[in-house]
Amino acid sequence: MIRFLRDRKVRDVLWQAAATVAMVAVVWFFVQNASDNMVKAGIASGFRFLWRDSGIEVPFNLTGYKPSDTILALLWTGIVNTLLVSAASIAVATLIGFTVGLLRLSRNWLLSTLAGFYIEFVRNIPLLFFVLFWYFGVLATLPAPRESLSFLDVAFLNRRGLYVPTPDDVTGFRLALLATLILIALQIGLARWARSRQARTGRDFPTWLVGFGLCGALPVLAFVAAGALTPWDVPSLRGFNFRGGFTLVPEFVALFMALSTYTAGFIAEVVRGGVLAVRQGQIDAARALGLTQGRVLRLVVIPQAMPVIIPPITSQYLNLIKNSSLGAAIAYPEIVAVFMGSALVSTGQSIEIIAITLGIYLTLSLAVSIFMNWYNARHRLVTR
Amino acid sequence: MKVFGAAAAAACLVALPAMAQQLAPSPTLDAVKARGNIECGVHLGLPGFSYANDKGEWSGLDVDYCRSLAAAVLGDATKVKYTPTSVQQRWPVLQSGQVDVLARNTTITFSRNATLGVDFQGINFYEGQTFVVRTKAKVAAVKDLGDATICVAAGSTEEKTAADWFRERNLKVTIINFQKNDDAISAYDQGRCDAYTAGIGALAGQRIKFKDPAEHQILTEIISNDPQGPVTRWGDERWQLIVRWVLNAQIAAEALGVTSKNVDEMKAKSTSAEVRRLLGVEGKFGEMMGLSNDWAYTIVKQVGNYGESYERTVGMASPLKLPRGRNELWTKGGLLYTPPFQ
C-alpha cells in the first residue's frame, strides 16, 4: 500500500479525486441546506415553475412567444434577445474598434488625435450612464407616432421604434439566399484558383473586384428581384401606433449603440497594442519588397498582430455579452430583464432562477472562449 | 405507586398556572425589543404612501403603519428603521429576515401567499388599477387604449392585470416592463408609451413627478381589486398576531371615535367597554400578545387613528386629495371593518 502511494502519478490522481469529492459534497450540502430551509419557510422550490404559464408580455421577440406560453418559452425568448443584441454589437464593435485602432496609429495628426479622443472618452465613462444616455437621448430626439419620419411611406421612425415592412411570403427570399450561397462558394473556388495561378505564373488576378460583383452586386440584384415579386406587410398608423411589419424597438437600438460604441474603445486599444507588437523590421522589409500600404497591413502586419490581439479581444467579447444585462435598466427584454426580473418576481423562486441565469451566461461565455481559442490556434503563424 | 401518582398530579396542578402565564415564543418580537427598533420594508418613494422628504423624514400611509407598530411594541413611534425596496427586492428582504414587516403597497394575491412563504395580515388600503394618459390623446375609457403602448413596473400585479385585461377583450397592446417604477414613469413622460398603469392611489402620488402634471389625466375606470396591507413571513405566529391587531387597532380607534386629540379624555372617562379594552383600562389585552397594556393608546396618541392618518397622508389634507371611497369605515359605505376587541 505504502509503495503504491509512493508513485507520484497515483498520488496526484488520489488528491484530485479527493478534491472533487469534497467539492461535490460542499455544493450538495449547500443545495440541501437551502432547499430544507425553503421548505421550512414555506417558499416554493424546484424547477416545475418552468412549465407554468408565464402571463408576461414581451414587446420585442423573434421567437413568436405569447403571454400564454410557459416560463421556459419566456426564458428562451430572453436568451434569443441577449444573443441578438450581443452578436450585433460584437460585429459592429469589432468593425469600429479595428478602424479606430488603426486610425490611432495613423501618421495623420487629425485622425490619430480624433481616434485618441474617442478612445479616452468612451473608456472613462460608466457603461450604465452610456446606456441611459443613448436611451433617453434617442427617445428625446425622435418624433411622436403621429409626426413619424417616413421613408417612401413604407418604413417609419418614431419614439416607439423603427417600423419596417415584412414579406408575407418568404419563398422568393429563400431562393435569393440559395443563389447567394452558391455565389459565395463560386467566389471561394475562384480565389483558390487565382492564388494557385499566382503561385504558378506570378500573374495577378483581380479577385477582389470580381468578388464585389459575385458576392456584392449579384446577391443584391437577387434580393431586389425577390422583393419586387413578393407581397409586403407594410406598417400603417392605426389608432395610437403603427401596426404590421416588423418593429425595431428603441430599447434594442439604444443598447446596441451603447454596447458597440463602448466596447469599440477597448478593442481599439487592443488592436493598437497588437499592431505595435509587430516589429518595425517586418514592415520595412515588406515595403522594401514593393508592397502597397494596404498589402503591408493585410499580408504582414495583421497576421502577425492577430495572435497578440485575439486573447484580450476575447475577454472584451465576454464583457460585452455580460454587459448586455444592463439592458434591464432600459426595459430591453433580455434574459436578466424577463427572467431574473419579471419571472423571478411572479414565481418568487430566486435561487433556481439565479442559478439558471448564471448557467446560461457561463455557457455563452465558455462557448465564445472555445471558439476564439480555436480560431487563434487555427490562424497561428506557422513558423518555418 | 399511589404516592407517585398523587405527587405527579400535584406537580401538574402547581405547574398549570405557571404555564398559563407563558406565551408562545416570538423570535421576531424578542429581536425587535433587543434591537430597540422596527425594521420596516417600504416603497422606494411613493408620495402619500412612503416618501422621504429632503431631510430624510419618512411620511405616508404605509409609513404610519410602521410607526403604529413601533408605538405599540416599543412605546415610541419614531423607533422605526425604513428599508426602501424595489418591486423585486421586497420578497427576499422579507423572507431573509432583513425586515420585520413589509408595508409597501403590496397586493394580496393567491400565488404570493401560496408560494413565497409570506402571510398578509390585513388590508390598510383598497387599491384599484387604472391608467394615466396624455390629456390630448382623448382617451375616455380603458378600452380606448387598444393598440397603445403601455409602460409598467416589471413583476408588479399591474403587469399581469393589464396583460390579462386586454387579452380577454382581444385588444392588442404593447407592454414595456421597466425594473423600477420611476424608470417606467420617466419613459412614459418622455413619450415612449401612450399610458402608464398603476393603482389609482399610487398614480395620484406619482402624478406629481411628471414634468407637467396638467398634461396628464388619470382615468376613473378601475380594472382590478388590489387589496394592500402589511406582510410578514411564515412562522412566528405571535408576531403575526401583533402585526394584524395593530392594524385593527388603528381602524377600530376610528370606528370607536378615539382620536389623537381625545384619547386621554376617552381613556379616563369613556364608559364604552370596547373603548376601555382597546385603550388598556380593562382586559389586559396587551399582555396577551406580550406587549404593554397601553399599546393601542400609544398608537392613537402618537400616530392617530386610521382616519386621521389617511387624511394627513393621502386624503384631503394632503396633495393627493384622494377621497375615502372604499377606504371608508363600513358604517359610512366603505369596506374597512374590524373584528371586535373582546
Q: For chain A, what's the residue count?
A: 384
pLDDT of residue A1: 65
Which three-class secondary structure state does DSSP give residue B128?
A: coil
Nearest to A355 by CA among A60, A66, A30, A65: A30
For residue A21, being part of any structural domain is answered with yes
Identify the pLDDT of residue A148.
77
Q: Looking at chain B from residue 191 to 220, which residues have their Cβ under 8 Å from any Cβ of chain A?
A: 191-192, 194
Does the beta-carbon distance from A350 to B92 stay under 8 Å? yes
Domain boundaries, chain B: 27-126+228-332, 129-224
Residue A238: the pLDDT is 72
- Write out pLDDT tens, residues A293-333: 888 888 888 888 988 899 999 999 999 999 999 998 898 99
Best to test chain B binding among A45, A60, A65, A240 (most B CBs inside 10 Å) = A240
Please state which CATH class domain B129-224 belongs to. Answer: alpha beta
State the Cα–Cα distance between residues A311 and A308, nearest whole angstrom: 7
Give me the pLDDT at residue A171, please: 77
pLDDT value at position A170? 75
> What's the Cα-to-Cα distance from B51 to each of B48, B61, B64, B214, rounded to whole Å?
7, 10, 11, 22
Residue B159: is its pLDDT beyond 80? yes
Encode pLDDT of B258-278 as tens digits: 999 999 999 999 999 999 999
Asked if the domains B27-126+228-332 and B129-224 are classified in one and the same CATH topology, the answer is: yes
List CB contacts (< 8 A) between B137 and chain A. 240
CA-nearest residue to B150 within chain A is A59
Residue with cell 392618518: B309
Chain B residues whose CB is inside 8 A of the A45 CB are none
Q: Identify which of B114, B163, B176 has the shortest CB distance to residue A55.
A: B163
pLDDT tens sequence across A154-180: 788 888 888 888 777 777 788 888 888
Contacts of B147 in chain A (CB under 8 A): 238-241, 243
Interhelix angle A171-201/A218-229, nearest 10 degrees: 170
- Closest in A40, A59, A140 to B176, CB measured: A59
Q: Which positions 133-192 of B are in contact with A (Cβ < 8 Å)?
A: 137, 145-149, 151, 154-156, 159-160, 163-164, 167, 172, 174-179, 183-184, 186-187, 190-192
- Judgement on whether residues A31 and A89 belong to the same structural domain of the protein: no
Residue A111 sits in the same domain as residue A5: no
Whole-number Å distance between alpha carbons of B313 and B48: 5
The B195-199 sheet, strands edge to edge: B174-178, B149-153, B195-199, B129-134, B216-218
- One-letter amino acid identity for A43? I
User: Which residues are CB-neighbours of A9 under 8 A, at least 6 positions away?
Assistant: none
Q: Cα–Cα–Cα angle for B217, A136, A357, nearest 5°? A: 100
Q: Do B154 and A341 touch (CB under 8 A)?
A: yes
**Which residue in A139, A328, A329 is closest to B192 by CB distance?**
A139
- Burial code (b: 16+ CB inside 10 Å, e: under 16) for B42-60 equals bbbbbbbbbbbeeeeebbb
Per-residue pLDDT band for A7 (boundaries 50, 70, 90) equals confident
Report for A29-33, A56-60, A241-245: range of highest mean pLDDT: A29-33
* Domain co-membership, A294 together with A158: yes
Residue B35 has pLDDT above 80, yes or no: yes
Q: Give the range of the structural domain holding residue A3, as residue numbers without chain letter.
A: 1-35
> What percent of chain A has a predicted confidence (pLDDT) above 70?
99
Same domain, A3 and A123: no
- In chain B, residues with a C-beta closer than 8 Å to the C-beta of A68 are 167
Pair (A91, A30) in one structural domain? no
Residue B236 pLDDT > 70:
yes
B-interface mutation test, from A36, A57, A81, most B Cβ less than 10 A away: A57
Chain A residues whose C-beta is within 8 A of a chain B C-beta are 38, 40-44, 55-57, 59, 67-68, 136, 139-140, 144, 159-160, 238-241, 243, 250-251, 328-331, 333, 337-338, 341-342, 344-350
CATH 1.10.620.20 given to domain B27-126+228-332: no
Query: Helix H segments across chain A?
Result: 2-6, 8-40, 71-104, 109-123, 127-141, 171-201, 207-211, 218-229, 250-276, 280-288, 293-295, 302-323, 335, 344-347, 350-378
Q: How many CB pairs under 8 A join A and B?
A: 117
C-beta atoms of A59 and B175 within 8 A: yes
* pLDDT greater than 70 at residue B318: yes
| A159 to chain B: closest CA residue | B192
| Least confident span in A234-243, B113-122, B245-254, B276-285 | A234-243
Best mutation target, A43, A48, A148, A345, to test chain B (most B CBs within 10 A): A345
Mean pLDDT of A199-208: 79
Tell whether A30 and A130 lie within a shared domain.
Answer: no
Contact A41 B233 (CB under 8 A): yes
Residue B8 has pLDDT above 90, yes or no: no
pLDDT at B12 over 90: no
Asked if B64 has any chain A CB less than 8 Å from its own CB, the reply is no
**Within a 10 A sphere around the Cβ of B276, how many other Cβ atoms?**
16
Distance CA B76, CA A16 (A): 60
Q: Quick check: B17 pLDDT over 80?
A: no
* Chain A nearest CA to B147, separation (Å): 6
Cα dihedral B328→B48→B73→B126 (10° resolution): 40
- The whole-angstrom separation of Cα B60 and Cα B47 is 7
How much is the ipTM here?
Answer: 0.75
Same domain, A98 and A245: yes
Nearest CA-CA distance, residue A83 and chain B, Å: 20
pLDDT tens figures, B204-235: 888 877 888 888 989 989 999 999 999 999 98
A44: nearest CB among B88, B115, B154: B115
pLDDT number for residue B16: 53
Tell me what pLDDT residue B87 has: 81
Map grid coordinates 389634507 to a residue: B317
* 3-class DSSP assignment, residue A162: strand
Q: Which residues pair with B197 in a beta bridge?
A: B131
Count Cβ atoms within 10 A of the Cβ of residue A17 and give its class: 0-12 exposed, 13-18 middle, 19 or more buried.
exposed
Q: How far apart are CA A251 and CA A329, in angstroms?
A: 10
Report the CATH number at residue A256: 1.10.3720.10
Shared-domain flag, residues A22 and A105:
no
Return the residue of A nearest to B89 by Cα: A345
Q: Is residue A115 part of a domain?
A: yes
Give the one of A43, A59, A346 whose C-beta lies nearest to B95's C-beta: A43
Band (A288; pLDDT cuts 50, 70, 90) = very high
Contact A344 B178 (CB under 8 A): no
- Give A53's DSSP letter: B
DSSP reduced 3-state for A241: strand
For residue A195, give Cα distances in angstroms to A134, A201, A202, A208, A380: 46, 10, 9, 12, 20
> Among A128, A330, A342, which would you mutate to test the B interface (most chain B Cβ atoms within 10 Å of its Cβ)?
A342
Concatenated DSSP letters of B12-66? HHHHHHHHHHPPPP-HHHHHHHHHTSEEEEEESSBTTTBEE-TTS-EESHHHHHH
CA angle B37, A350, B177 (to 5 degrees): 95
Q: What is the reported pLDDT for B4?
A: 60
Measured between alpha carbons, how far is A347 from A157 in angstroms, rounded to an integer?
A: 37
Beta strands of chain B (E only): which ranges?
Answer: 38-43, 51-52, 58-59, 80-85, 101-102, 118-120, 125-127, 129-134, 149-153, 174-178, 195-199, 216-218, 226-228, 231-233
> How many domains does the structure of chain A reveal?
2
Q: Are residues A292 and A372 in the same domain?
A: yes
B72 φψ region: left (φ > 0), alpha (ψ -120 to 50), beta (else)? alpha
